[in-house]
Structure 1
């Protein structure tokens, strides 16, 4: 139905922004107050002309508050009129009461806060300060030009000066307060975490491009630190550890500890609740010297000297470096001081690398979740609808169309197979190493679900004595998923054996099947094998793909074994 003429004004009123309605109400209230004060001071209706002039000058600020020129000119006119009106109203009040106390100026000067505060609210602090200066100059000039009945100039009277100074100060204080409140409100409205994250990530990207060697890998930084400390402390065993959560540490790099033979393997003490120099150094943020080895299951047949130095960035401990060698008095105070001086600069580098690794991990997981949602809501749903369409076509076929029915049955079976594969891919994308469940739980869940879908008998051997760095756990999970998926899709196997052993910094993932192996002519799996090799190299692991006796294939990846420094002779 067409709008009537009576409805149009109402609709136009609703389009007025709330801020504009507030400005009209404030100006109207101030004009009414000023009019009442002027009448009380002068008893002269003619002096209300200043109220009318101020209302006229305030129209641009009400109608076009965001206009860069008109609104500013309107506020300038209001300020000048207040200055001129203050002198005129003060003169009229002096003539009425035969006094020269300047009290009449206070009748109109409260309006001075309106244009100055309006400028500040429109994010024009310089204009606000300029209007305050214009008001002071106008009051001074008008007071100098106005001559009182006794022949003296109005500016020479203390009452006029006091009234002008009082309201100028109040206007300035009100303007400053308005600006502070406006900034506080803006801070509350601004999504600070996102703004701060954007700023920091931008800086991180710029810094990462300028880093020597362009590396932000915690493991590489830890290995470089050990290389720097090796000629200083001359340790036989050393490690760099960092926090992993749940009151434990993880080993980022080490040397001197045999990790290939699981029966003789020794590991660093990673519990922060243990009675060790490592736990004491972490808690006290002070270097700790000990006569005991910091390795668990270490056969200490003779005296051992160990020193543990905390790596502190700001006020936070980001890691530890532990050095030890056989013998007594291995790390006197002077040598410990040299080790601390050499290790201190690495703390900030290590913290930056750990933070970058965490950000990268969060971003990767978010992207995997996003891809999973896109596939589920897009391709997966379309395939399901196609399957329903094939079912409907099968249901409406005539009885004599047996060939067509068979083709549709085969097509429906293939669609079902593709949907199953797609759901397993979605599960793989969504799978993550839970903070509390650990790597073994994530691999076991994926193996069970994938094996059940393919009719495989899954045999699990799980042993997790601690946590590895999050980045290493994530890569090991993806390698295990790829190996299990290859066995499910291509091996035509009946059994699947999955072994997961974690004893930080050592980790072993082994996936075996009793299928047909990897034919030389098959090329579709080469890309997956290359990806597994890249992931293993990224975490400085060793990937091995070999035939299983008597049939099948074994994929194994080992991390935390003999490091790159292991084969070097101790200096």
Structure 2
């Protein structure tokens, strides 16, 4: 029996026999041996449970049934030649152990079904529980959930331990690289150019590192690094002062970690909702309006007077315009900052799209360095630029659109200019400009919208974040 089990187990391991077939063979073997060696074979019958258990685990209810049939069939075939006509007293042990094995197999099948049904909704239940906890806690977080504000607190804390000329806080981006979260006020970002390797070494270290007049302090929550506070110092720092600073940053590190996680969840949820809306518009309203256009075409073909045809042609043009607007809205919803794509690239791609679906001649100027803004800031600036370009396409009536984008973190500026009719009185149900202002205020940027000055007509929109290097 042991030798047979060993042979079958080895066959299963090398892939020659499936677990389901193994259970059938073992079940038949146990039943045959138990019957052929009666009455001593009664001690073998408890092993009938094992094949049932394996069959139920490997193939659910069908596997359990196959093993049960194999065991019962082999036991019946082997009984007659050896023991003759069976009696109840002779077969009672066999029937009892077959029943026990069947019961164990049924329990396994039921447990598997229960676990499978729970697994479909288990992740959602866990998500609901976590979101409820976050909702309950967010109102009690004294430090808030703004990563930028917390980065400023980290830099302010550094001033209490060492003399700092400039500072920056670096964190991980979704693609795994380190990027500046915030620079100190009036800092020159050029001072931190070329420090990527140094910041990476600081991230992997659990102690502050020093390179000439630059110090890197890992911001850690116990055993996890959530950021690196990089300091530009007037002279090499005392290592003990940096250690005391790192210890003092422990509480802010926890707050920063929570804020970064919340920011990531919010960004993911926003992206998922935008994609869902894009699908709904494309598969629902856009298709319905397109179908309406085909109906108008049919009516035009059946029109009996020139006046009817003219009205239906005008209606068809309007339906085509609405379909184009809906498709543009789908594109806007799906057009997001992709991994490895900077703000300038995103603005340029959208400007090309505007040029391809309108009569505007689009002129684009980019000035973008290797250093990136925070993903949330880039996304908000891109949405403002998209809305400005869409407004020019829909309402300006102009021939040209000039788009410029300058990104020199922490400074960024986007300008959208057209040569159309200029600003018109706003409708009471128009929210575009208000939403752009809200987006700008949310990231600390300034939005300016005005008519072009001088002899030129048109509208000029500028959104500016921070100050250019070298200005005060």
Aligned to 2:160: 231
Aligned to 2:41: none
2:93 is the counterpart of 1:49: no
The count of residues paired between Structure 1 and Structure 2 equals: 407
Cα 1:437/1:237, change in 2 over 3 Å: closer
The Cα shift of 1:463 comes to 1.8
Aligned to 2:302: 396
What secondary structure does 1:546 align onto? strand
TM-score normalised over the length of structure 1: 0.62
Aligned to 2:408: 503
Following the alignment from structure 1 to structure 2, what is the Cα–Cα distance between the partners of residues 515 and 310?
52
Following the alignment from structure 2 to structure 1, what is the Cα–Cα distance between the partners of residues 209 and 243?
11
Q: Which moved more, 1:426-435 or 1:111-120?
A: 111-120
Q: Deviations over 1:72-110 (max 9, x none)?
A: xxxxxx4xxxxxxxxxxxxxxxxxxxxxxxxxxxxxxx6
The Cα shift of 1:320 comes to 0.8
1:260-409 matches, within 5 Å, as 265-269=188-192, 273-274=196-197, 277-292=198-213, 306-313=214-221, 316-326=224-234, 328-329=235-236, 331-398=237-304, 401-409=305-313
Cα 1:48/1:424, change in 2 over 3 Å: same
Aligned to 1:299: none
CA contact (8 A) 1:218 1:354 kept: yes
Aligned to 1:443: 347
CA contact (8 A) 2:215 2:233 kept: no
Following the alignment from structure 2 to structure 1, what is the Cα–Cα distance between the partners of residues 417 and 240?
53
Aligned to 1:81: none
The Cα shift of 1:20 comes to 6.4
Runs of at least 5 residues in structure 1 that lack an aligned partner in the other structure: 1-16, 56-77, 79-109, 125-181, 259-264, 293-305
TM-score normalised over the length of structure 2: 0.74
Following the alignment from structure 1 to structure 2, what is the Cα–Cα distance between the partners of residues 362 and 335?
39
Runs of at least 5 residues in structure 2 that lack an aligned partner in the other structure: 1-60
Q: Which moved more, 1:523-532 or 1:192-201?
A: 192-201
CA contact (8 A) 1:249 1:270 kept: no
Q: Which moved more, 1:227-236 or 1:480-489?
A: 227-236
Following the alignment from structure 2 to structure 1, what is the Cα–Cα distance between the partners of residues 257 and 122?
22
1:483-562 matches, within 5 Å, as 483-519=388-424, 521-523=425-427, 526-550=430-454, 551-561=457-467
Cα 1:562/1:34, change in 2 over 3 Å: farther
Following the alignment from structure 1 to structure 2, what is the Cα–Cα distance between the partners of residues 500 and 411?
39
Cα 1:343/1:196, change in 2 over 3 Å: farther
What secondary structure does 1:545 align onto? strand
CA contact (8 A) 1:267 1:504 kept: no
Following the alignment from structure 1 to structure 2, what is the Cα–Cα distance between the partners of residues 495 and 243?
40
Aligned to 2:129: 202
Cα 1:271/1:525, change in 2 over 3 Å: farther
Cα 1:397/1:282, change in 2 over 3 Å: same
Aligned to 2:181: 252
CA contact (8 A) 2:170 2:228 kept: yes
CA contact (8 A) 1:510 1:554 kept: yes
What secondary structure does 1:215 align onto? coil
Following the alignment from structure 2 to structure 1, what is the Cα–Cα distance between the partners of residues 215 and 330?
48
What secondary structure does 2:357 align onto? helix
The Cα shift of 1:18 comes to 2.8
Q: Alignment partner for residue 474 of structure 1, among 372, 379, 386?
A: 379
Q: Alignment partner for residue 25 of structure 1, among 62, 69, 74?
A: 69
Aligned to 2:57: none
CA contact (8 A) 1:464 1:501 kept: yes
Following the alignment from structure 1 to structure 2, what is the Cα–Cα distance between the partners of residues 121 and 193?
19
CA contact (8 A) 1:513 1:552 kept: yes
Aligned to 1:163: none
Cα 1:280/1:220, change in 2 over 3 Å: same
CA contact (8 A) 2:170 2:179 kept: yes
1:40-119 matches, within 5 Å, as 48-52=88-92, 55=95, 78=96, 114=101, 117-118=104-105
Following the alignment from structure 1 to structure 2, what is the Cα–Cα distance between the partners of residues 421 and 456?
16
The Cα shift of 1:428 comes to 0.7
Q: Deviations over 1:469-528 (max 9, x none)?
A: 211111111111111111111222222111111122322221112222223x32257511
Cα 1:247/1:503, change in 2 over 3 Å: farther
Following the alignment from structure 2 to structure 1, what is the Cα–Cα distance between the partners of residues 143 and 395?
40
